Amino acid sequence: MIELNYRGDKELVRLRIDRQNKKLWIASSKTGYNTVETNWKRLFDKGKERIQDRITSKLDDQRFILVLHMSMAKLGYTPIKYGS
């Protein structure tokens, strides 16, 4: 299980990712900061889900996380760690 936290301009986002079973949980202002399971495809750009999923499925966890950090940065989010 991968847990990633991001800070945007006015919001925090937490992603919980189960790559093996292709499950995604999100907590953000849109969910009232409650963790909810959502569609796996939300990790990817709309219309490019299938190819991006195929490409990222070949990556190890560290590279997968790096790709997510880059994708979230394009949306204005920076990774954060709790307790640090």
pLDDT digits (tens, 9 = 90+) for 28-79: 988 899 999 999 999 998 999 999 999 999 999 999 999 999 999 999 999 9
Q: How many domains does the chain have?
A: 1
CB 2 within 8 A of CB 65: yes
Domain that holds residue 45: 2-80
pLDDT of residue 30: 86
CB 35 within 8 A of CB 25: yes
Give me 58's structure tokens.
Answer: 């070949």
pTM for the model: 0.85
**Amino acid (1-letter code) at residue 84:** S
> What is the rounded distance in angstroms from the CA atom of residue 78 to the CA atom of residue 23?
22
